[in-house]
């Protein structure tokens, strides 16, 4: 293939289809323009390509370049007159994304591994069925029948282990006789990734009642997960089955240079690429209207979770239900009336496209976002964990520490970067607001870089990374990621007002008290060596009271020294809490209301 110089990529979201044009200018790939249009998967269009063409037309107008031919098809490859593109790629989460049910024998073991496999492949899990999940068989059958997933992933038993339970799960599936969500009359795809000895028994029961695919066991032994074969099978079936049934996707599939990828799967790819190339631990979040996705790579282990009912518009009342009014109101730097808060969030739910007009309304929305981010992160921590049920040799120290198998892999002290995306973070009127929300929701420890995705193009860059990693990495660095600045956050709790740490950087010495949040100006692209000396009971990564010398980086906000303590505890009394919140707003240069 000749050199690729022009790339078009679209992401068909549930409400908006976004198109980006990337071109090689000189030695590097850069984002040229971005266009968008409403997604057209639903009536009256029932054809995703209508929205794709509309978004690409906007790109054509903005870039002053022809990409579509007279029949509305993408011109490929790039022509001598400059029209067309070399590569066209797409991701999709429209029409409900990829909805899966997973089944396993033991809830905390094989079913959980199956859940991780499906989530990592970009699915939304609509139910997790396990032999020991506490429900009666008929309840599970009823549930499988009602849900109508796009596909089912079945797992369980280590290789050479239980056969009987797997055959029983297969019987349960036959009993429910589930139908796929899309494509009336088609057989439901079922991926079997369990004990290899049970394959024949499962095949005998399921027969041709479903579209059965058999792959390697995703948990061949208790201490090993092998999720890739199941993830590949999910991706393949997503392309062959789900994408072919969704309206207009058959046509879209014939346009793309490489298979359509589910949006979260693509975001996962770019996060993994970044973590791998830079050798860092990364946490990324995409907070949308309906769902919040969390991605992490800790010590090279990738995990993704989706909180299907935590979001800022359609699902905003679920944040209210899960967090409670008090937890949302605690972040507002003013008194909040509970009844009006509840009614206003309900009104946002029924009119999801409205935006805060007043500062007060914005602060309320950002308070909800903190809780949505926090809850989704809690969920992520419970699933991103080491394998349960593994026999390990433990040291005396670990036994005394009560360390167990199944601990979360999320270690905030070793985290290097947090990337936030989604409207409430990417489009916050001031970048400091995005940084502040992430500080409160995630409470990073030690030294961590905060960043936001400027216009949410991680999906397109994810799919691009599979065909042209260099272009994806360059655009990610130069046009996608907006660095907000490093955070220095000592862990521990001491008396308010006592010295928490001293930071020497740029020839200045910053003495920061416990309970204080301080912003030190350092611009985009600027770095500085910093010597951080925590007080006796505080820790910035080297141990209590131990000094570290690190390079910190500036950004759109600056270097943030967060000495509010970990865990962050807000004063109980409303007046004291509001006073503190006002102080922190001011420290970041933010108005209160």
List interacting residues with other proteins (CB under 8 A). 14-15, 36-39, 41-43, 94-95, 137-138, 141-142, 145, 163-164, 167-168, 171-172, 174-177, 179, 184-185, 201, 204-205, 290, 309, 313-315, 317-318, 321-322, 339-340, 342-344, 346-347, 349-362, 427, 429-430, 591
Indicate the residue among 334 and 413 with the shorter CB distance to other proteins: 334
Is the Cα dihedral 11, 16, 21, 22 positive or negative?
A: negative
**Total count of residues recorded for the chain:** 593
Indicate the residue among 10 and 535 with the shorter CB distance to other proteins: 10
Q: How far is the CB of 61 from other proteins (least distance, A)?
A: 13
DSSP code of residue 68? B
Cβ(484)–Cβ(454) under 8 Å?
no
Q: 168: cis peptide before it, omega within 30°?
A: no
At which residue do the structure tokens 């088609």 appear? 186
- Mark residue 539 as left, alpha or beta (left: phi above 0; alpha: psi -120 to 50; beta: remaining): beta
Q: How far is the CB of 343 from other proteins (least distance, A)?
A: 4
Indicate the residue among 288 and 565 with the shorter CB distance to other proteins: 288
Indicate the residue among 244 and 344 with the shorter CB distance to other proteins: 344
Cβ(484)–Cβ(27) under 8 Å?
no
Cβ(451)–Cβ(280) under 8 Å?
no
Q: How far is the CB of 38 from other proteins (least distance, A)?
A: 8
Indicate the residue among 347 and 531 with the shorter CB distance to other proteins: 347
> Please, how many CA atoms are within 13 Å of residue 185, restricted to the half-sphere of its CB?
0
Q: How far is the CB of 578 from other proteins (least distance, A)?
A: 20
Indicate the residue among 354 and 531 with the shorter CB distance to other proteins: 354
d(CA 578, CA 181): 49
Most distant CA atoms of the chain, gap in Å: 74
CA-derived radius of gyration, the chain: 25
d(CA 50, CA 452): 30
Indicate the residue among 452 and 532 with the shorter CB distance to other proteins: 452
Cβ(127)–Cβ(266) under 8 Å?
no
Indicate the residue among 168 and 232 with the shorter CB distance to other proteins: 168
Q: How far is the CB of 176 from other proteins (least distance, A)?
A: 7
Q: How far is the CB of 12 from other proteins (least distance, A)?
A: 10
Indicate the residue among 204 and 551 with the shorter CB distance to other proteins: 204
CA 479 to chain CA centroid, Å, is 20
DSSP code of residue 535? -
Q: How far is the CB of 577 from other proteins (least distance, A)?
A: 23
Q: How far is the CB of 465 from other proteins (least distance, A)?
A: 27
Spatial neighbors of 487 by CB under 8 A, at least 6 apart, are: 435, 439, 444, 447, 448, 449, 450, 559, 560, 561, 562
Q: How far is the CB of 351 from other proteins (least distance, A)?
A: 5
Q: Are strands 6-12 and 87-92 parallel, antiparallel or unpaired?
A: parallel
Question: Closest Cα to residue 380, out of 115, 155, 149, 156?
Answer: 115
């Amino acid at each position: 293939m000749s050199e690729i110089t022009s790339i078009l990529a679209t992401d068909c979201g549930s409400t908006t289809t976004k198109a980006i044009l990337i071109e090689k200018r000189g030695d590097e790939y850069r984002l040229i323009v971005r266009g968008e249009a409403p997604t057209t998967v639903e009536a009256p269009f029932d054809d995703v390509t209508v929205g794709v063409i509309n978004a690409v037309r906007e790109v054509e107008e903005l870039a002053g370049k022809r990409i579509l031919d007279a029949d509305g098809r993408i011109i490929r490859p790039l022509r001598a007159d400059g029209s067309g593109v070399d590569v066209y790629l797409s991701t999709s989460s429209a029409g409900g994304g990829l909805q899966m049910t997973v089944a396993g024998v033991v809830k905390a073991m094989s079913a959980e591994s199956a859940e991780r496999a499906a989530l990592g492949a970009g699915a939304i899990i609509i139910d997790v069925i396990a032999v020991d999940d506490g429900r009666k068989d008929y309840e599970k059958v009823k549930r499988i029948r009602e849900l109508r997933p796009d596909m089912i992933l079945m797992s369980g038993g280590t290789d050479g282990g239980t056969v009987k339970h797997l055959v029983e799960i297969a019987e349960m599936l036959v009993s429910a006789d589930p139908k796929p969500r899309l494509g009336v009359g088609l057989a439901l795809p079922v991926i079997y990734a369990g004990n290899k000895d049970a394959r024949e028994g499962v095949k005998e029961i399921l027969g041709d009642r479903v579209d059965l695919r058999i792959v390697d066991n995703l948990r061949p032994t208790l201490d090993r997960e092998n999720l890739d074969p199941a993830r590949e099978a999910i991706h393949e079936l997503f392309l062959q089955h789900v994408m072919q049934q969704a309206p207009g996707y058959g046509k879209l599939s014939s346009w793309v240079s490489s298979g359509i990828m589910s949006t979260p799967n693509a975001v996962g790819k770019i996060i993994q690429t970044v973590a791998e190339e830079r050798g860092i631990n990364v946490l990324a979040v995409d907070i949308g209207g309906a769902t919040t996705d969390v991605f992490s790579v800790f010590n090279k282990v990738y995990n993704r979770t989706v909180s299907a009912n935590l979001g800022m518009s359609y699902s905003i009342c679920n944040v209210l239900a899960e967090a409670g009014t008090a937890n949302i109101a605690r972040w507002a730097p003013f008194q909040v009336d509970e009844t009006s808060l509840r009614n206003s969030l309900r009104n946002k739910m029924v009119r999801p496209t409205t935006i805060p007009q007043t500062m007060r309304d914005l602060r309320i929305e950002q308070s909800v976002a903190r809780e949505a981010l926090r809850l989704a992160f809690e969920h992520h921590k419970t699933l991103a964990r080491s394998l349960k049920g593994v026999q390990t040799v433990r040291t005396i120290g670990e036994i005394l520490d009560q360390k167990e198998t199944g601990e979360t892999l999320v270690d905030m002290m070793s985290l290097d970067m947090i990337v936030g995306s989604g409207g409430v973070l990417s489009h916050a009127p001031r970048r400091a607001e995005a940084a502040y929300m992430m500080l409160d929701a995630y409470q990073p420890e030690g030294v961590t870089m905060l960043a936001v995705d400027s216009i949410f193009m991680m999906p397109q860059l994810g799919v691009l990374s599979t065909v042209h990693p260099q272009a994806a990495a360059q655009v990610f660095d130069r046009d996608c990621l907006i660095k907000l600045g490093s955070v220095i956050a000592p862990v521990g709790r001491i008396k308010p007002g006592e010295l928490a740490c001293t930071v020497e950087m740029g020839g200045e010495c910053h003495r920061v008290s416990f309970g204080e949040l301080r912003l030190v100006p350092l611009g985009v692209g600027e770095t500085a060596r910093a010597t951080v000396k925590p007080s006796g009971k505080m820790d910035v990564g080297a141990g209590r009271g131990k000094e570290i010398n690190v390079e910190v980086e500036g950004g759109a906000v600056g270097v943030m020294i967060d000495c509010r303590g970990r865990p962050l505890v807000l004063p109980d009394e409303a007046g004291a809490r509001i006073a503190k919140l006002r102080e922190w707003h001011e420290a970041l240069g933010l108005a209160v209301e």
